[in-house]
Structure 1
Amino acid sequence: MTLQPFQAGPTPQFLVGVGNVNATDYWVVTPAGSWPLADVNVTSHDQTATTTHTPAWAIVMVIVFIWFFLLSLLFLLAKETRVSGYIAVHIQAGEQSFTEQIPVYSAVQRADTLNRVAYLQMLIGQARYNRSQNPGASSPN
């Protein structure tokens, strides 16, 4: 007798993932549980802050070249933008809910996370529309 790996069926294809929240064609899967896609509400709260600083290299360049050129003060015009904080994604299905806080370190990561949430909300809208067109049909397991 040989040991065979356990196979519970096909692995679901996730259409979108936001942190630990994933969505298939019919389900939203979180660490707190799985719910039908048409039965959830998803909201996001952007808790990021964008700050602008003079970079350290610009200050060093001013100190080094101030004795040679007065134009070295133009280095102080250089600015660096920093994004920090998190985006809270809240999933609610009836009485149950789950909140995922996704840390954000750049403007690109912030935009990507918000686009993923928007795509998840679009999938939910499509699932609700499909359910309203076929009220007797149930989602496959």
Structure 2
Amino acid sequence: MNQYPDPHQGEPWQQPSGGNPGWGLPPEPHTGGQLEPYGNPTGGYQPAGMGGMPEPTEPTLDTIGDIAITQNTVITPSGRFPIRGTVWTTTDMSRTEQSTPVWAIIVAILFIWTCLLSLLFLLVKDTKTTGHIQVTVQGGGHYHATQIMVSNSAYVQHVQQQVNYARSLAA
């Protein structure tokens, strides 16, 4: 007896059950809603609080990467801890490069014989920022680091402002 389904009979859920309990049933559609981790009877991520008590819910004021900040708490994937007395550091590992775009070089070469002003096209610069910013927070016996990808220099300044806001809450 062949243990594999006959490819000429259609999709696996259209196969005859033939001793395999899952065959013959259509796939279960996703009903929507929030995804829940497997094996968690409470339904959803619930970090351990003090003495098993649920954490009070506060509105999230800001998020930096995977770090969320409330008025009194820092929430990271590894747990919650008070924001009071935390130390925030940033390391800018991005770089900005300037180069002459290809189109400017082509236009300058094509029109160099007609007008020497075409050489002004070589002054056109294209600015490109790549890299990431590393943000770390430590306090209350916890340490967490996150890396945030950046694509322009304005976003680098935005992340720095977010960290300064977190520092003001920690003071």
What is the TM-score normalised by the length of structure 2?
Answer: 0.64
d(CA) in 1 for partners of 2:143, 2:123: 47
Query: What is the CA–CA distance in structure 1 between the aligned matches of 2:160 and 2:120, rounded to whole Å?
Result: 36
- Residues paired across the two proteins, number: 120
Higher share in strand: 1
TM-align CA RMSD: 2.1
Partner residue of 2:160 out of 82, 103, 114 = 114
Deviates more, 1:72-81 or 1:10-19: 10-19
Corresponding letter in the other structure for 1:118: N
Alignment of structure 1 residues 30-45 onto 2, 5 Å: 30-45=76-91
Deviation of 1:35 after TM superposition, in Å, equals 0.7
How high is the TM-score relative to the length of structure 1? 0.76
Residue ranges of structure 1 left out of the alignment (5+ in a row): 1-5, 126-141
How much has 1:39 moved relative to structure 2? 3.8
Q: Could you list the runs of 5+ residues in structure 2 that have no partner in the other structure?
A: 1-42, 44-53
Residue 84 of structure 1 aligns with an amino acid whose one-letter code is T
Do residues 87 (structure 1) and 162 (structure 2) align?
no
Q: For residues 55 and 62 of structure 2, what CA distance do their matches in structure 1 show?
A: 21
Name the structure, 1 or 2, with higher relative contact order (CA <8 Å, separation 6+). Answer: 1
Q: Distance in 2 between matches of 1:30 and 1:10?
A: 16
Matched, 1:72 2:118: yes
Q: Residues of 1 paired with 2:76 and 2:140: CA distance?
A: 15
Residues 22-37 of structure 1: pairs in structure 2 closer than 5 A: 22-37=68-83
Deviation track 1:33-74 (CA, whole Å, cap 9, x = no partner) reads 111010421111111111111112211211222232121111
Deviation at 1:119? 0.7
In terms of Rg, which structure is larger? 2
CA distances 1:64-89 after superposition (whole Å, capped 9, x unpaired): 22232121111001112221111100
Distance 1:118 1:40 in 2: 12
What code does the residue aligned with 1:51 have? Answer: E
More helix per residue: 1
